[in-house]
Amino acid sequence: MVKELKEQVYCANMELVHKNMVIYTWGNVSGIDRDKGLVVIKPSGVAYEDLSPEKMVVIDLQGKIIEGSLKPSSDTATHLALYKEYPSIGGIVHTHSVYGVTFAQAGLDIPPLGTTHADYFYGSIPCTRDLTEEEIEEDYELNTGKVIIETLGNKDILEVPGIVVKNHGPFAWGTSPGNAVYNGVVLEKIAEMAYRTLTLNSKATPAPQYLLDKHYFRKHGAGAYYGQK
């Protein structure tokens, strides 16, 4: 039904392993076929070495399993909430990578301390608020999606392609499953750089806005000139 997308989602999940972003079953990637209204996502609790394209689960936007014999990721409702809210995204990744989780557990935004950050994220990578006990008991995964949407507010979803969920960990997204993983890996490296910077100098402040603008817009937008034509 969505053979090519299943292959893409499988490869994106395996890229998490290759980039040392996950161990055991600590993460998931999904992708969406907007024309068919179908999402492909990693099955819940299956070790990466046991995955294959055929084991990816196909669901509709209401979470109904359309194809596959395994249960979809336990984070499925979070992914679906984001797909419904943001039509420009084509893939989502969630991990428990060390430095991303470190900022999530500290309840801190990841500040734009330098140009590496600015090359990919326009401004701070935000941290959500705590979910309330009622939100967790009512519908934990769906409300995780809702608090991400609440925190992003009117931000351009592709200018800030990631977030850290308080006490939980990072989610990132992109135009495809592979692009989502790319942004997730960049988020983790940016978080590591920020942590190390703040460890050396707890008073470090964000880079000047004009420098951040220069680096972001030389890679993004109508005036971008980085790379080959």
Q: How far apart are CA 215 and CA 56, in angstroms?
A: 37
Whether residue 119 lies in the annotated active site: yes
Whole-number percent of the chain with pLDDT over 70:
100
Query: In the prediction, which pLDDT does 198 show?
Result: 98
The catalytic residue among 60, 130, 139, 226 is 226
**Could you read off the pLDDT of 138-150 as tens digits, one per residue?**
999 999 999 999 9
Cα–Cα distance, 9 to 92 (Å, whole number): 10
Q: What is the mean pLDDT of residues 58-68?
A: 97
Q: Between vectors from CA 181 to CA 215 and to CA 51, what angle results, nearest 5°?
A: 170
The pLDDT assigned to 175 comes to: 98
- Say which of 48, 109, 119, 140 is annotated catalytic: 119
- pTM here is 0.96
Q: How confident is residue 31, by pLDDT bands cut at 50, 70 and 90?
A: very high
User: Does the pLDDT at position 8 exceed 90?
Assistant: yes
Query: Distance between terminal CA atoms of the chain?
Result: 35
Task: Give the pLDDT mean for 13-40.
Answer: 97
What integer pLDDT is reported at residue 26 of this predicted model?
Answer: 95
3-state secondary structure the chain: CCHHHHHHHHHHHHHHHHCCCCCCCCEEEEEEECCCCEEEECECCCCHHHCCHHHCEEEECCCCEEECCCCECCCHHHHHHHHHHCCCCCEEEEECCHHHHHHHHHCCCECCCCHHHHCCCCCCECECCCCCHHHHHHHHHHHHHHHHHHHHCCCCCCCCCEEEECCCEEEEEECCHHHHHHHHHHHHHHHHHHHHHHHHCCCCCCCCHHHHHHHHHCCCCCCCCCCCC
**76: Cβ–Cβ under 8 A, 6 or more apart, which residues?**
30, 39, 41, 59, 63, 141
pLDDT of 84 strictly over 80: yes
- Domains of the chain and any CATH numbers: 3-217 (3.40.225.10)
pLDDT digits (tens, 9 = 90+) for 174-192: 999 999 999 999 999 999 9
Q: What's the rounded mean pLDDT across residues 21-26?
A: 95
Closest CA to 124 of 206, 200, 196, 179: 206
| 226 is known as an active-site residue | yes
User: Residue 229 — pLDDT band, cuts 50, 70, 90?
Assistant: confident
d(CA 222, CA 133): 45
Average pLDDT of span 162-172: 98
Q: pLDDT (tens digit, 9 = 90+) per residue, 206-217?
A: 999 999 999 999
pLDDT of 1 strictly over 80: no
User: Tokens in use for 125?
Assistant: 């990578």
Q: Is the pLDDT of residue 128 over 90?
A: yes
Q: What span, in angstroms and rounded, lies between the C-alpha atoms of 43 and 29?
A: 10
Residues 6+ apart with CB under 8 A from 20: none
